[in-house]
Amino acid sequence: MVNCSEGDCLALRPRFQPPPLTKDSAEWKCLDSQVPPEHVARRIVAAIERLDLTPLLASYSGRGSLAVPPKQMLAVVLIEKHRKRQSPGDWYIDLKENVVLRWAGLGIRPSRSVCYEFRDRLGKHLEQWNKDVLCQAKAVGMTDGTDGAIDGSSIAACASRQRLLNQEQLNSRIEKLTARCDQSQPTEQNEKPPAWMAATADGRKAQLNRFEQAVEALQPRLDANARRMPSLRLPVKRVVISPSDPEAALGPDKFKVFRPLYNALFVSDMNSPLILSYEVFDHGQDTALLEPMLRRTRDFVGPQFHRVVGDSGFVTGTNLAHCDAAGVELIGPWKENDYTKRKQKKQEKFVKDKFLWLETDHAYQCPAGQRLERMGSERRQRAGDQEETLERFGCRAATCAACPLRSQCTDSRGGRQLRRSEHEPLIEAHRAKMNTPEAKATQKRRGQTAERGFADLKEHRNLRRITGRGIACARTDVGLCVLTRNLLTLHDHLTTESPSAAAAP
Ligand code: SF4
């Protein structure tokens, strides 16, 4: 008789339900006859064979009742993502009604809660699967992973934009919820709860938990607000948070609606329809996110990634310095929408380009031949935690007052002043590069890659609202959409464009 430990017994025990249908069953053959040969579901089912599902299968402990077969479940999820059906609640309904899903899932019928649990379980495997798909794409020569176009877009969080609370309101509600949850106050239990309060005891406990998280998440926002310049500082009661999803940022979306949202960034391959990397952030400024996206893209495709193309929001002195240090070339227009430049153009004042930088003297020379000497320096706060040092240069007030070109140069009584960034040599080199035909052609191609990828994810995959609460869920939603797109792109490349390579794993 062989004795086995509890761990061995669990390993030997079947962990998954057998699918209700087999490919030899009459019912499955009937379903198969109803799915057209060119249907995208057939490509997705075939493409899943390229993924290593071992970590997903190993994530089931083997305890409790047998789990729904993960491979068939994954096929259903990817088909649903492709069909604009983002929510696990939709998957549950469609699995009962949709012939294609019953065919792909071999007749599985998971409950609604299993669909939600499976979505959350997939989260930690998506990054590795996406890396594996890119690795296979590189191996078959589909991409070399060197050039990418970066862009970002906001995605609405799963939270109401009408119910934002400040610190005082949160504390008041926590007090009321605590009193309600306290079993030692039976008389209050009989009172009708206010409209904002959950109706059941379990719901109130979950609500209290979320409100306490919201209080914690609000504190850094209050601290950041206190560090702002007095002219930009908000009154404390206007610093609010979403109690439904405290991790979500608050800001205007593409339609200028102020709401809880997440910021999703993608780096799309310039030479194929693949997405090289993605990430979801809980703050909204793209400018500060270039550096983390460069690190992440290299993590996904390797150190050969060396050129990124972005819009003017990504091109700042600080980002040029980051790219220079990382050995990545940044292509993008230099502040085309700069307010100061437009204002100067409108008033027909000399722009900074009209002033000659004298490297040896560390001073500027103005169009009238006068010098603007260094007056001092200042530290400027930039997007995120970035900072930049600017040197101030100025011409003497008396010189400017007597200058015949004054009306074209400045209205200031103190004389014309200029600021020079600590990254000015990089900025000047970048501006010169952006005037070359090669850089202009590369910039033009960005619109055909990054913008098209976003249009596909938002319009065709309906990636407009996160299906659950928290940034982990946001990353899962985005990661699944990217996996579906990249997996199909790789599969199509291997099966249609390069028949000889189709034999590759
Ligand atoms: S106004 Fe002053 S800075 Fe401007 S061109 Fe005349 S001397 Fe030079």
Q: Name the domain boundary from 238, 259, 286.
A: 238
The reply to whether 135 and 48 lie within a common domain is yes
Ligand 1 pocket by C-beta < 6 Å: which residues?
Answer: 366-368, 370, 395, 399-400, 403, 405-406, 409-410, 415-416
**Does 99 lie in the same domain as 17?**
yes
Q: Which of 15, 13, 35 is CA-nearest to residue 23? A: 35
**What's the gap in Å between 367 CA and the centre of ligand 1?**
7
Domain count, the chain: 3
Per-residue pLDDT tens digits for 170-208: 999 999 989 887 765 555 555 678 888 888 888 888 889
- For residues 162 and 473, give the distance between their C-alpha atoms in angstroms, rounded to a whole number: 22
What's the whole-model pTM score?
A: 0.84
Residue after which a domain boundary falls, among 238, 271, 301 = 238
Closest-lying ligand 1 atom to the alpha carbon of residue 369: 8
Q: Which protein residue's CA is at the shortest distance from atom 5 of ligand 1?
A: 368
Residues 6+ apart with CB under 8 A from 351: 341, 344, 345
Query: Which of 344, 352, 366, 375 maximizes ligand 1 atoms within 8 Å of its Cβ, making it the mutation to test the pocket?
Result: 366
- Please indicate, yes or no, whether residues 86 and 204 belong to a single structural domain of this protein: no
- The residue nearest atom 4 of ligand 1, judged by CA position, is 409
Comparison of pLDDT for 350 and 337, the residue scoring more: 350
Residue 160 lies in a domain: no
How many A from CA of 52 to the centre of ligand 1?
Answer: 68
Task: Tell me: pLDDT of 505 over 60.
Answer: no
Reply yes or no on whether the pLDDT at 69 is more than 90. yes
* Ligand 1 atom 2: residue of nearest CA: 400
Kindly report, residue by residue over 247-272, the tens digit of the pLDDT. 999 988 888 899 999 999 999 999 88
Co-location of 53 and 127 in the same domain: yes
Q: What is the pLDDT of the chain when averaged over all its residues?
A: 87
Tell me the average pLDDT across 156-183. Answer: 89
Question: How do residues 30-61 score in pLDDT, each as one tens digit?
Answer: 999 999 999 999 999 999 999 999 999 999 88
For atom 7 of ligand 1, which residue has the closest CA? Answer: 400
> Would you state the structure tokens that stand for residue 158, as one six-digit string?
């799963």
Measured between alpha carbons, how far is residue 500 from residues 303, 322, 343, 407 in Å?
Answer: 28, 42, 59, 71
* pLDDT at site 1: 43
Q: Which two tokens stand for residue 54?
A: 């071992």
Cβ neighbours of residue 142 closer than 8 Å, sequence gap 6 or more: 272, 274, 490, 493
Residue 289 falls within a domain, yes or no? no
Q: List the 387-394 sheet strands across, edge first.
A: 356-358, 363-365, 371-381, 387-394, 417-421
Beta bridge partners of 381: 387
Q: What is the pLDDT of residue 9?
A: 52
- Domain span holding position 21: 13-140+485-503
Do 23 and 105 fall into the same domain? Answer: yes
State which ligand 1 atom lies nearest to the alpha carbon of 368: 5
DSSP 76-97: HHHHHHHTT--SHHHHHHHHHH
Q: Which two tokens stand for residue 380?
A: 């400027």
Amino acid at position 319, single letter:
N
Band the pLDDT of 395: cuts 50, 70, 90: very high
H helices present in 264-365, as ranges? 290-301, 317-326, 339-346
Cα(395) to ligand 1 centroid in Å equals 7
pLDDT for the residue numbered 504: 38
* Residues sharing a CB contact under 8 Å with residue 410, sequence separation 6 or more, in sequence order: 349, 400, 416
In a domain, 2, yes or no: no
Tell the burial category of 425 from Cβ atoms under 10 Å away from its Cβ (0-12, 13-18, 19+): middle
Residues 205 and 106 in one domain: no
- 102 and 192 both lie in a single domain: no
Distance, CA 334 to ligand 1 centroid (Å)?
25
Q: Are residue 36 and residue 81 in the same domain, yes or no? A: yes
From the CA of 446, how far away is ligand 1's center (Å)? Answer: 40
Same-domain pairing of 135 and 34: yes
Which residues make beta-bridge pairs with 260?
250
Binned at pLDDT 50, 70 and 90, residue 387 comes out as: confident
* Domain identity same for 41 and 127: yes
Burial label for 95, CB within 10 Å (0-12, 13-18, 19+), is buried
| Cα-to-centroid distance, 405 and ligand 1 (Å) | 6
Q: Where are the strands (E) in 282-397, listed by range?
A: 307-309, 329-331, 356-358, 363-365, 371-381, 387-394
Are 123 and 215 in the same domain? Answer: no
Share of the chain above pLDDT 70, in %: 90
- For residues 370 and 333, is the Cβ–Cβ distance under 8 A? no
Phi, psi of 390 (to 5 degrees): -120, 135
Choose between 447 and 160: higher pLDDT: 160
Band of the pLDDT at 340, cuts 50, 70, 90? low
* Interval 394-418 mean pLDDT: 90
User: Do 65 and 26 sit in the same domain of this protein?
Assistant: yes
Please tell me the distance between residue 371's alpha carbon and the centre of ligand 1 in angstroms. 9
**Which residues are registered as beta bridge partners of 258?**
252
258: CA distance to ligand 1 center in Å? 44
Tell me the per-residue pLDDT of 277-288, one tens digit each, with 9 for 90 and over.
Answer: 999 998 767 788
Domain-located, residue 150: no
Of the two residues 3 and 308, the one the predictor is more confident about is 308
pLDDT > 50? residue 16: yes
Compute the distance between CA of residue 87 and CA of residue 465 in angstroms, rounded to an integer: 10
Any domain includes 461? no
326 part of a folded domain? no
**Residue range 276-304: mean pLDDT, rounded:** 89
Final residue before a domain boundary, out of 191, 215, 238 = 238
- Decide if pLDDT at 29 tops 60: yes
Asked, for residue 365, whether it belongs to a domain, the answer is yes
The band of 78, judged by pLDDT with boundaries at 50, 70 and 90, is very high
The reported pLDDT for the residue numbered 5 is 55
102 falls within a domain:
yes
